[in-house]
């Protein structure tokens, strides 16, 4: 359309030579008894077809908290004004004139799902193109702030679908019939957004309760690299670092301090990344739930470490329950190690001797062995469950 207009204007400039008197005479002739308050159709019982296209320049902002989409672009509105027609030959082959926006009739099109109050499109400095057959082209440029319901469950691998709806506020569909242009959504010097990719666009006409409205749909996909590098990887690494507390021997004396340090590091990191996570009371991101799980893991690791220290420093003379003896035996079987006899006199420890059918000979079991078995089972339990949860969480998020 724009290329056709430019070509037509160049052709007019080179072939004909209209003067200001020609244009002034034309304007005086067609605007005699013309009123911008009257819908420009001869038969007022007939609807006025209105062709609407949207030219997108940029996606300025996507606010998940306010559920707001901010875009820049302009509308291309085309209709036929039956009261503004003339014969070009009568006016030195003048086929097009430019009229200020407020001097002729124009549709009262407004952004239906906007954040701000209803405002008139365009401005007093806008000129409309009027052709000799009555075709009028209006190109109002604006920054559109529209509401958009957002689902951040799969953040930062989420995809959002936002609608930009325009409606004729005062006229019914019987008076102005909005028609979707074949162009739909086009791009005008489009600039890529640093956070969102525009993966699909569509447009459609909706006629509800005698309203005539056009809907332009943008499908956006978040670019996850920044969040992967600054949120996901540090959280995953801290989660596995927390498991290493079960590798440190109880005798080293650093078990609790290491566990507390990792837990505090995790808590501090959570306060930092909370500003990067979108907040919503309706749907919580899966990554936020994953952070809570890692925090719970840290609390459980602290409890287990404290319990281990308590068992490790128990009096060796205290009787070891059968349950703990079976735990130690199972740990030794899993580690494929054979127990060896230990002479109580040589070690000067009152260790309990447990006889089992599986091991046959006497097996020496002490509280230090119980603590070591707890480390063994806790390490592998935490490791396996953490791997499974991590794979499931991010596979589901990425697959969305």
pLDDT tens, position by position, 50-88: 999 999 999 999 988 888 999 999 999 999 999 999 999
Q: Is the pLDDT score of 6 beyond 50?
A: no
Q: Is the pLDDT score of 247 beyond 70?
A: yes
Paired strand residues for 145? 70
Q: Is the pLDDT score of 218 beyond 90?
A: yes
Residues whose CB is less than 8 angstroms from the CB of residue 205 and which lie 6 or more positions away in sequence, other chains included: 178, 179, 180, 212, 213, 214, 215
* Residue 253, burial from CB neighbour count under 10 angstroms (0-12, 13-18, 19+): exposed
Q: Please, which pLDDT band fits residue 98 given cuts at 50, 70 and 90?
A: very high
Which domains does the chain possess?
A: 2-223 (2.70.170.10), 226-316+366-399 (1.20.58.390)
Q: At what angle do helices 233-243 and 255-273 cross, to 10 degrees?
A: 160
According to the model, what pLDDT value does residue 340 have?
Answer: 44
Q: What is the mean pLDDT of residues 368-379?
A: 83
262, containing H or E segment = helix 255-273
pTM of the predicted model, to two decimals?
0.76
Q: Is the pLDDT score of 398 beyond 80?
A: no
Higher pLDDT, 189 or 13: 189
Q: Is the pLDDT score of 277 beyond 80?
A: no
Residues whose CB is less than 8 angstroms from the CB of residue 214 and which lie 6 or more positions away in sequence, other chains included: 52, 165, 166, 167, 178, 180, 203, 204, 205, 206
Q: Are 294 and 357 in contact (CB under 8 A)?
A: no
């Amino acid at each position: 359309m724009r290329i056709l207009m430019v070509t037509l204007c160049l052709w007019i400039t080179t072939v004909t030579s209209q003067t200001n008197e020609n244009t002034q005479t034309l304007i005086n002739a067609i605007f005699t008894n013309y009123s911008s308050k009257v819908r420009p159709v001869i038969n007022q019982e007939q609807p006025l077809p209105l062709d609407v296209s949207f030219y997108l320049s940029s996606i300025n902002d996507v606010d998940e908290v306010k559920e707001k989409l901010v875009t820049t672009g302009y509308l291309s509105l085309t209709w036929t004004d039956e009261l503004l027609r003339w014969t070009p030959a009568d006016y030195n082959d003048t086929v097009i004139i430019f009229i200020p926006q407020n001097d002729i009739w124009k549709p009262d099109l407004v952004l239906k799902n906007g954040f701000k109050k209803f405002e008139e499109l365009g401005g007093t400095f806008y000129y409309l193109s009027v052709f000799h057959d009555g075709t009028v082209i209006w190109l109002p440029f604006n920054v559109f702030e529209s509401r958009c319901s957002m689902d951040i469950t799969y953040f930062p691998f989420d995809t959002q679908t936002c609608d930009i709806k325009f409606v004729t506020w005062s006229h019914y569909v019987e008076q102005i019939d909005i028609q979707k242009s074949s162009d739909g959504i086009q791009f005008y010097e489009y600039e890529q957004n640093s956070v969102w990719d525009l993966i699909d666009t569509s447009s459609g006409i909706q006629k509800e309760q005698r309203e005539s409205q056009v809907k332009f749909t943008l499908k956006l996909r978040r670019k996850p690299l920044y969040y992967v590098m600054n949120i996901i990887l540090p959280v995953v690494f801290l989660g596995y670092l927390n498991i290493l507390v079960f590798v440190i021997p109880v005798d080293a004396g650093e078990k609790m301090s290491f566990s507390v340090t990792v837990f505090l590091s995790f808590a501090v990191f959570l306060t930092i990344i909370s500003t990067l996570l979108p907040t919503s009371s309706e749907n919580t991101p899966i990554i936020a739930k994953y952070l809570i799980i890692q925090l719970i893991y840290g609390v459980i690791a602290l409890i287990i470490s404290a319990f281990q220290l308590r068992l490790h420093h128990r009096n060796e003379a205290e009787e070891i329950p059968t349950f703990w003896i079976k735990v130690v035996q199972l740990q030794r079987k899993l580690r494929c190690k054979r127990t060896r006899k230990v002479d109580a006199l040589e070690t000067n420890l009152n260790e309990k001797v447990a006889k089992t059918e599986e091991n046959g000979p006497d097996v020496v079991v002490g509280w230090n062995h119980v603590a070591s078995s707890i480390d063994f089972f806790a390490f592998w339990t935490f490791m396996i469950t953490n791997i499974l949860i991590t794979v499931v969480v991010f596979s589901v998020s990425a697959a969305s």
